[in-house]
Amino acid sequence: MQGMSERQYAAHVGLSRGAIQKAKAAERLVLYPDGSINAAASDARRAETTDPSKTRKPPAPKLKPVPEAAVAAVGDTLREQGLAVPAVGGGTTFLQAKTANEVLKAQERRLRLQKMKGELIDRARATALVFRLAREERDAWVNWPSRAAALMAAELGVEAAAMQKALESHVRAHLDDLAEVRPEFR
């Protein structure tokens, strides 16, 4: 056999054996004297005789543009994990985007698991708790001069009212300084 069989040629051009048999019957293929198919010559003849509008080519996929924010998020995720980040304007490959997606899903699962185990708490709840504790601490300090002034005045031999007034002014000044500190929860 000098050339290809019908099956071999069908695999070569990506068509069914029946389509090759029809092309052979319509004399659109070049055959060797032994009946085998001359692949190079048949490819050229098929290209000349085939109407391009009747070929079944898969339609080109219509790609939507990817927002810059999404590309930046992929880059940030890859950078956080120590992986290669595409150059600015160089475009993100599908593999890089898929890797970033898998990393994000793994991080999300880890956070969900930590929350289920009770290792994580809600930010609003933590903020409310810190605020409540700070208020209780402040109230305790505001009330302290009235409780301690009489005892301190007796030890020092001074008037209790004057001692309370002095303690209250110093405690309030200190609390005002502490009030300027704003905790940030990130």
When pLDDT is cut at 50, 70 and 90, the band that residue 180 belongs to is confident
Q: Which positions ≥6 away from 173 have C-beta within 8 Å?
A: none
pLDDT tens sequence across 58-79: 666 776 666 677 777 777 777 7
pLDDT tens sequence across 96-141: 777 778 888 888 898 889 888 988 888 888 889 988 998 999 899 9
Is the pLDDT at 89 greater than 60? The verdict is no
- Each domain of the chain, given as residue ranges in start order, spans 6-54, 68-117, 123-179
Q: Which whole number is the average pLDDT over 80-100? A: 71
- Which one is predicted more confidently, 186 or 149? 149
Name the one residue in this structure whose structure tokens are 């032994």: 34
When pLDDT is cut at 50, 70 and 90, the band that residue 27 belongs to is confident
Exposed, middle or buried by CB within 10 Å (0-12, 13-18, 19+), for 8? middle
Count the neighbouring beta carbons within 10 Å of the beta carbon of residue 159: 11
DSSP designation for 54: G
How far, in Å, are 2, 12, 23, 43, 133 from residue 6 at the CA level?
13, 10, 10, 13, 85
Short-list 26, 6, 25, CA closest to 16: 6
The pTM (predicted TM-score) of the whole model is 0.39
Short-list 16, 9, 14, 15, CA closest to 30: 9
pLDDT value, residue 30: 92
Q: Which whole number is the average pLDDT over 9-14? A: 91
pLDDT value, residue 31: 93
